[in-house]
Amino acid sequence: MINTLRILTMLAWRNLWRNHRRTLIMLGAVVIGVWAMIFMTALTMGMVNDMIEDSISALPGHVQVHHPDYLDDPNITNLLPLPEEAIADRFRSAGFLAWATRIKVPAVLSSERESRGVTLLGIDPQREEAMSFVDYSAVEGRFLEGPDDAGIVIGRKLAETLETELGKRVVLMSQDPDNDIADRGFRVVGLFSADVQAYEEQYVFAGKKTVQDLLRVGDRVTSIVVLGDDYRDVEPVFAKVSALVDDGVTVSRWMEIDTYLGTMLRVMDGFVLVWVIVIFLALSFGLVNTLVMAVFERVREIGLMLALGMKPSGILGQIVIESMMLLVTGLTIGNLLAWATIKPLESGIDISVVAEGMAMMGAASVLYPQLRFEDVILANTVVLILGFFASLSPAWRASRFQPIEAITRVN
Amino acid sequence: MNLVLRLAWRNLWRQPRRTWLTTGAMVFSNVLLVFMISLQFGMYRLMIENSLQAFTGHMQVQAQGYNDDKKMRQTVPDIVPLASALRSQLDSDEVAARATAFALASSEERSYGIAVFGVEPRFEPHVSSIPGLVREGRYLDSNEAPEIVIGKVLARNLRVQVGDELTLLGSGRDGSFAAVVATVVGIFDSGVADLDRTIAEMPLGLFQDVFYMRGSGHQVVVNAPRLGQVAELKQRVAGLLPEDQGLVVQDWDALLPGLKQAIQADISSAVFMYAVLVILVAFSVLNTQLMSVLERTHEFGIVLALGLKPGRLGRLVMLETAMMGTMGLLLGALIGGAVTAWLGIQGFTMPGMDEMGAKFNLPSRLHPDVTIASLLSGPAVVFLFSLLASAYPALRIRRLHPVEAMRSA
Amino acid sequence: MTAVRCVDLCKTYRQGDQDIKALDHLSMEVEEGGFVCLSSPSGGGKTTLLNAIGGLDKPDSGEVYIAGERIDNLSKGNLAELRLHRIGFVFQAFNLIPVLSARENVEFVMQVQGVPASERREKSLEILEEVGLEGLEDRLPSEMSGGQQQRVAVARAIVSNPALVLADEPTANLDSKTADGLIDLFKHLNEHHGTTFIIATHDQRVMAYAKRLVRMLDGRIVEEIDQNAA
């Protein structure tokens, strides 16, 4: 058995290189196909990953807790029923990677020249540093220093449109739970930049305590945000958070809050599989063709081997092994090529020419390809399994040759 | 059929299985290309039309710089007379003036920051689909009345209904405090989430009073009869503008750069995918034709010895490829066209299409439309690259030496 | 003991619109240790008979026994086993696997049989030397002359000591010196190892050595000469 396998392998390998031109062409096709599978997958996964990470850092967190009506109506009246202290008592010792309470409500920010609608975030800067999309140290001026900071931090782009700058005063307007207008002047203490330009226009940060006073909500907040380890697997965090809160609040996973992104993640996972299969199918015609030609050329020697007492299964095995060798060689080179082309790009591909288009899709203007082990495994497995089935038909035909006819065939 | 054609055709069918496999690769790619390209361009057209129709329009006359900064004081002076002049000079009703400001809109219970637009109630329906999408109440009908029309989501968030009052607080053109109380007369449902959540429209005359606009506004929307005529119309409009006021015409891709770039980004990833498919087909053809040339070395040797020029044999090989390519093209376009047309009638959906559609103003059922271009462009490229791929085998024939060739088996 | 017994074999081919009787109620027995030459004009049925005995081709009717075991109704797999272990073949042309060297071609059958590598190597080198190919072990078929190739084929046919060797025109492409060498080899094996030979040929030199001559015409045996007696 082992012996037979050994000779089949040897025959397959030598036969593979008999018509080296044909093998090299086919190998070239396999290499390009495999490279394209993995390269495209890495780009796609990189884009999805960026989108999700950006979006999660803007939410922020993987799991959030709100008043049941808040997600539909993000208003200051829909406060969490628990005071901050009670929340902190429960969450403090639960061992989350990071968690924070915050106020997030719509507001209008005005300079002396312009007004814009914004999302006001009342935060405790220390608690959110790990999950925020803002790199505190890269903020022009300074970021908030604590929950009772009296300043406001806005995006660079917003500062431009409002024609304001560091040190200037802006007026923030929102409503309190009784729908009385709450407004207050703030000094701009910091300007942040974000990967996604829209964030620079949308979000403004102020101290949580300051905002609570402004909006007259005492020690209440609108949201609890919790960060887990892996955005693809939020269930453990979700279960833990659910156990910590009472009925009467809603615990949501990020993909429930941002359904577009949740869908994107699923769609793109599906797209990757479809892409890999499509490429394989395009390859399979050439593969089957190559095998058919190889079998056709070797009718007589296949007949000879059968006449000498090799079983038909040996012939079948030989052709299948030959095909698998071709694929494995192609896969190896293709994988290496993909790795070699993706590695240098991992520091990011600048696609800012289509920045606003990417922003529309929810992605940043620098694309970081992501070479994921499981995607590489997927591509390779699909090629090997489908390749095996594609080579069965020519191999089966070869094994059905009648030895006597095959040997006496003139050509 | 002349002799050479007949010869090429018969040569193809000496190895029917190989010919079918190679043609099969072409057909597979062509079907895929026809479907994908039809779907893609149908989608882009819908994305553009839906996005522009709703509100933005094909082009806008604005103050220089307004498109980038959208500042309150970057205005178009005397905007109503300008719009009316353009209407008569272009002989078209699809021209309407607007002004816009950000304001805090407060109802009894809620306050939200919104974008409020002053519009010409008579002409707005010609440039925007919003007036036609008023689901409750009515659209604006007077140029001065304290009335307002808001989006469905905004109405829900503000908890107002037709007949309720809204207070708008903002700043005027000169930075001074601006406030008005207006009655909600209509609620529209455009299906574009951003519009339904953030936009309110009030009569331009009222707007100009409240925000101290002194007859100015921010944009004159001009629509072309078709998307294809935008460039031409843009030229005309630009020629009609008063010289010294620093006005510019921005077409839709400048107004909504995200839209065009999203399409560009999508096209470039699609082009990558198509290129890979085409290259794989080309490899298949190269392999087949090279093998077919090598197999016939002996036979080629004989005809060369008989005095045929190598160039003619090369052309014969190219002709064989062209025949195979034509079969691939016709079958691919036929099957691809039929499948796509059927899906175009039936419509189809993909998992996640609801969410994606909402993001890009697309319906959740897609109807790809087959056009001559989408039907033939992909297959034509496949055909071309197949010919290109067989150039190498064809050129190899030139290197044949008749005697050596005949000696080889 | 009978090595080969054929009973009432019939085989008809269609060629164009003509039926050709390649075997016509043919019966024959070959004793163990026999050395039989089949001769016939081209198309006389000798190749068909060899193929039927070797289990490469099924007769339309009749029975074939090898060492007393009926083989014409065996399955493909069992026939493969039979050829692998008990029969050595030398074909008229195209005898060798092109991607294998001389030694590997000789080892091929043993390898499929599962003979250990060292034993294979020893035996194959020994037999190649015996057929006069020492020094050419690592050549590919394409690097050898027709005669050398034919000798490799003979070496392969006899290397695993089959009880029966079937050869179809083994000397057809050989010069007379090489042919003589090959015939000596057959003779030697026949005498010292008791190998049974059935050889289809019309080469006079081979026939001269044969213990028994069988002449065929139109699928029937028309003449048998026992040369042992002579």
Annotate A278-317 with DSSP letters as a single string: HHHHHHHHHHHHHHHHHHHHTHHHHHHHHHTT--HHHHHH
Q: B241 lies in a domain?
A: no
Of the candidates B28, B104, B112, the beta carbon closest to that of A282 is on B28
Of the candidates A7, A307, A311, the beta carbon closest to that of C111 is on A7
**Are A352 and A320 in the same domain?**
yes
Distance of CA B160 to the CA centre of its chain: 37
**Are B264 and B289 in the same domain?**
yes
Distance, in Å, from the CA atom of C215 to the CA atom of C39, rounded to the nearest integer, reads 5
Render pLDDT for A236-255 as a digit per residue (tens, 0 to 9).
999 999 988 888 899 999 88
Given A257, A273, A288, which residue is the final one in a domain? Answer: A257
Token duo for residue B311: 């160039």
Residue among B113, B112, B84, B78 at smallest CA distance from B96: B84
Query: Residue C104's closest chain A neighbor by CA?
Result: A7
B116 phi/psi in degrees, rounded to 5: -105, 135
**Are B202 and B80 in the same domain?**
yes
B409 pLDDT tier (thresholds 50, 70, 90):
low
Instruction: Report chain A's terminal Cα–Cα distance, integer Å.
Output: 32
Of the candidates A161, A181, A286, the beta carbon closest to that of B25 is on A286
Provide the shortest C-alpha distance from residue C228 to chain A (in Å): 31
**By percentage, how much of chain A surpasses pLDDT 70?**
98
Q: Which residues of C touch A4 (CB under 8 A)?
A: 111-112, 114
CB contact under 8 Å between A7 and C95, yes or no, is no
- The answer to whether A59 contacts chain B (CB < 8 Å) is no
Render pLDDT for A90-112 as a digit per residue (tens, 0 to 9).
888 888 888 999 999 989 898 88
Contact C44, C216 (CB under 8 A): yes
Instruction: Report chain B's terminal Cα–Cα distance, integer Å.
Output: 31
Distance, in Å, from the CA atom of A302 to the CA atom of B372, rounded to the nearest integer, reads 49
**By percentage, how much of chain A surpasses pLDDT 90?**
40
Is pLDDT of B48 > 60?
yes
CB contact under 8 Å between C91 and A309, yes or no, is no
Contact A379, A66 (CB under 8 A): no
Is pLDDT of C101 > 50?
yes
ipTM: 0.81
Q: Which residues contact B376 (CB under 8 A, 6 or more apart)?
A: B333
Is pLDDT of A365 > 80?
no
- Among A16-20, B116-120, B306-310, top mean pLDDT goes to B116-120
Residue among B267, B237, B231, B269 at smallest CA distance from B251: B231
Verify C-B touch: 3 or more CB pairs within 8 A: no
The pLDDT value given to residue A268: 85
Which residue is listed with tokens 């003619």?
Answer: B312
Render pLDDT for B323-348 as a digit per residue (tens, 0 to 9).
999 999 999 999 999 999 998 888 88
- Counting DSSP H helices and E strands in chain B, the numbers are 17, 10
**Which domains, ranges and CATH numbers included, belong to chain C?**
34-42+76-226 (3.40.50.300)
The pLDDT value given to residue A411: 39
CB contact under 8 Å between A407 and C91, yes or no, is yes
Q: What mean pLDDT do residues A315-323 have? A: 93
Q: Tell me the β-bridge partners of C220.
A: C217
Which residue is listed with tokens 């309720």?
Answer: B164
Token duo for residue A203: 């979000």
Contact B385, B279 (CB under 8 A): yes
* H runs (alpha helix) in A225-367: 235-244, 254-257, 259-297, 299-307, 312-342, 355-361
CB contact under 8 Å between B18 and A293, yes or no, is yes
Provide the shortest C-alpha distance from residue B157 to chain A (in Å): 6
**Are B44 and B132 in the same domain?**
no
Q: B113 lies in a domain?
A: yes
Token duo for residue A85: 């202290």
Of the candidates A6, A15, A311, the beta carbon closest to that of C80 is on A311
Q: If contacts are CB pairs under 8 Å, which of residues 282-321 in chain A contact chain B?
A: 282-283, 285-286, 288-290, 292-293, 296
Token duo for residue B331: 């079958």
Helix or strand or coil: residue C93? coil
C230 pLDDT tier (thresholds 50, 70, 90):
very low
Provide the shortest C-alpha distance from residue A2 to chain B (in Å): 34
Of the candidates A161, A174, A281, the beta carbon closest to that of B69 is on A161
Length, in residues, of chain B: 409
Task: Compute the mean pLDDT over every residue in chain C, rounded to the nearest whole number.
Answer: 86
A and C: number of Cβ contacts within 8 A: 69
Render pLDDT for A242-298 as a digit per residue (tens, 0 to 9).
988 888 899 999 888 888 888 888 888 888 899 999 999 999 999 999 899 888 888
Is pLDDT of A371 > 80?
yes
Q: Which residues of A touch C115 (CB under 8 A)?
A: 3
Distance, in Å, from the CA atom of B171 to the CA atom of A201, rounded to the nearest integer, reads 19
Q: Tell me the β-bridge partners of A185.
A: A171
Distance of CA B390 to the CA centre of its chain: 35
Please state whether B215 falls in left (phi above 0), alpha (psi between -120 and 50) or beta: left
Q: What mean pLDDT do residues A315-329 have? A: 94
CB contact under 8 Å between A11 and C76, yes or no, is no
Distance, in Å, from the CA atom of C140 to the CA atom of C124, rounded to the nearest integer, reads 15
Q: B123 lies in a domain?
A: yes
Given B175, B199, B223, which residue is the final one in a domain? Answer: B223
Given A205, A223, A257, which residue is the final one in a domain? Answer: A257
- Using CB atoms, which chains have 3+ pairs under 8 A with A? B, C
**Are A269 and A185 in the same domain?**
no
The pLDDT value given to residue B1: 56
**A367-386 b/e (C-beta count within 10 Å ≥ 16 → b):** bbbbbeeebbebbbebbeeb
Provide the shortest C-alpha distance from residue A3 to chain B (in Å): 33
Instruction: Report chain C's terminal Cα–Cα distance, integer Å.
Output: 23
* Strand ranges in chain C using DSSP code E only, listed in sequence order: 2-15, 18-31, 35-39, 61-66, 69-70, 87-90, 164-168, 196-200, 212-217, 220-226
Is pLDDT of B354 > 90?
no
Burial tier of A267 (Cβ tally within 10 Å: 0-12, 13-18, 19+): middle
Residue among B333, B257, B344, B232 at smallest CA distance from B51: B257
Give me the domain span that covers residue A321.
2-55+262-408
**Are B152 and B42 in the same domain?**
no
A404 pLDDT tier (thresholds 50, 70, 90):
confident
Q: What mean pLDDT do residues C152-171 have? A: 87
Answer with the residue of higher pLDDT: B66 or A130.
Answer: B66
A82 phi/psi in degrees, rounded to 5: -100, 140
The pLDDT value given to residue C85: 86
Q: B244 lies in a domain?
A: no
Contact C91, A407 (CB under 8 A): yes
Q: B291 lies in a domain?
A: yes
Distance, in Å, from the CA atom of A132 to the CA atom of B141, rounded to the nearest integer, reads 47
Distance, in Å, from the CA atom of B189 to the CA atom of B187, rounded to the nearest integer, reads 7
Kindly state the helix (H) or strand (E) to which residue A51 belongs, with its residue range.
Answer: helix A20-58
Distance of CA B41 to the CA centre of its chain: 6
**Are B164 and B28 in the same domain?**
no
Helix or strand or coil: residue C167? strand
Is pLDDT of B386 > 50?
yes
Given A208, A238, A257, which residue is the final one in a domain? Answer: A257
CB contact under 8 Å between A357 and B112, yes or no, is no
Q: Which residues of C touch A403 (CB under 8 A)?
A: 56
CB contact under 8 Å between A289 and B69, yes or no, is no
**Are A138 and A206 in the same domain?**
yes
**Are A21 and A107 in the same domain?**
no
**Are B76 and B147 in the same domain?**
yes
**Are B39 and B63 in the same domain?**
no
Q: Which residues of A touch B107 (CB under 8 A)?
A: 179
- The answer to whether A266 contacts chain B (CB < 8 Å) is yes
**Are B268 and B135 in the same domain?**
no
Q: What mean pLDDT do residues B63-78 have? A: 88
Q: For residue B222, give Cα distances in angstroms to B46, B82, B86, B93.
A: 19, 12, 9, 9
Considering its fold, how many domains does chain A have in total? 2
Of the candidates A29, A260, A270, the beta carbon closest to that of B283 is on A29
Distance, in Å, from the CA atom of B392 to the CA atom of A31, rounded to the nearest integer, reads 20
Query: Residue B275's closest chain A neighbor by CA?
Result: A36
Render pLDDT for B153-172 as a digit per residue (tens, 0 to 9).
899 988 999 999 999 988 88
**Are A105 and A251 in the same domain?**
yes
Of the candidates A21, A75, A259, the beta carbon closest to that of B355 is on A259
**Are A28 and A105 in the same domain?**
no
DSSP per residue, B182-230: EEEEEEE--S-HHHHHHEEEEEHHHHHHHTT-TT-BSEEEE--SSGGGH
Least confident interval from B15-24, B396-405, C180-189, C199-208? B396-405
Burial tier of B408 (Cβ tally within 10 Å: 0-12, 13-18, 19+): exposed
Distance of CA A257 to the CA centre of its chain: 17
DSSP per residue, B369-400: ---HHHHHHHHHHHHHHHHHHTHHHHHHGGG-
Render pLDDT for B237-292 as a digit per residue (tens, 0 to 9).
999 888 888 899 999 988 888 888 888 888 888 999 999 999 999 999 999 899 88
Provide the shortest C-alpha distance from residue A30 to chain C (in Å): 24
Q: What mean pLDDT do residues A67-74 have? A: 86
B188 pLDDT tier (thresholds 50, 70, 90):
very high
Q: What mean pLDDT do residues A382-395 have? A: 94
**Are A235 and A268 in the same domain?**
no
The pLDDT value given to residue A34: 94
Render pLDDT for C186-206 as a digit per residue (tens, 0 to 9).
888 888 888 899 999 888 888
Q: What mean pLDDT do residues B299-305 have? A: 82
Please state whether B164 falls in left (phi above 0), alpha (psi between -120 and 50) or beta: beta
Cα four-point dihedral sign B31, B32, B35, B40: negative
Of the candidates A6, A309, A407, the beta carbon closest to that of C80 is on A309
**Are A323 and A290 in the same domain?**
yes
Given B174, B205, B223, which residue is the final one in a domain? Answer: B223
CB contact under 8 Å between B352 and A361, yes or no, is no
CB contact under 8 Å between C84 and A310, yes or no, is yes
**Are A7 and A117 in the same domain?**
no
The pLDDT value given to residue C68: 87
Contact B335, B33 (CB under 8 A): no
Q: B228 lies in a domain?
A: no
Is pLDDT of C94 > 70?
no
A351 phi/psi in degrees, rounded to 5: -120, 35
Considering its fold, how many domains does chain B have in total? 2
The pLDDT value given to residue A409: 55
CB contact under 8 Å between C112 and A301, yes or no, is no
Provide the shortest C-alpha distance from residue C49 to chain A (in Å): 12
Q: Which residues of A touch B111 (CB under 8 A)?
A: 106, 173-175, 179, 181
Q: Which residues of B touch A161 (CB under 8 A)?
A: 69-71
Query: Residue A36's closest chain B neighbor by CA?
Result: B276
CA dihedral C173, C179, C184, C186 (to 10 degrees): 10
Q: Which residues of C touch A294 (CB under 8 A)?
A: none
**Are B278 and B353 in the same domain?**
yes
Provide the shortest C-alpha distance from residue C175 to chain A (in Å): 23
Is pLDDT of B22 > 80?
yes
Token duo for residue B52: 């522009």
CB contact under 8 Å between A304 and C84, yes or no, is no
Distance, in Å, from the CA atom of C110 to the CA atom of C125, rounded to the nearest integer, reads 13
Residue among C72, C4, C65 at smallest CA distance from C35: C4
Residues of A with CB under 8 A from a CB of C: 1, 3-4, 6-7, 11, 14-15, 18, 300-301, 304-312, 314, 403-404, 407
Distance, in Å, from the CA atom of B107 to the CA atom of A128, rounded to the nearest integer, reads 33
The pLDDT value given to residue A152: 95
Quick one: DSSP state of residue B52? Answer: I
Cis ω before A403 (30° cut-off from 0): no
**Are B379 and B263 in the same domain?**
yes
Give me the domain span that covers residue B368.
3-51+259-407
Distance, in Å, from the CA atom of A69 to the CA atom of A72, rounded to the nearest integer, reads 6
**Are A184 and A68 in the same domain?**
yes
Distance, in Å, from the CA atom of B49 to the CA atom of B228, rounded to the nearest integer, reads 12
Is pLDDT of A410 > 50?
no
Q: B235 lies in a domain?
A: no
Helix or strand or coil: residue A20? helix
- Counting DSSP H helices and E strands in chain A, the numbers are 15, 12
Provide the shortest C-alpha distance from residue B182 to chain A (in Å): 18
**Are A93 and A169 in the same domain?**
yes
Contact C204, C213 (CB under 8 A): no
Q: B245 lies in a domain?
A: no
**Are B65 and B33 in the same domain?**
no
Please state whether B220 falls in left (phi above 0), alpha (psi between -120 and 50) or beta: beta
Which residue is listed with tokens 């016709």?
Answer: B330
Q: Which residues of A touch C168 (CB under 8 A)?
A: none
**Are B66 and B212 in the same domain?**
yes
Distance, in Å, from the CA atom of A15 to the CA atom of A21, rounded to the nearest integer, reads 12
- Within 10 angstroms of residue B238's Cβ, the number of other Cβ atoms is 13
Q: What mean pLDDT do residues A192-208 have? A: 88
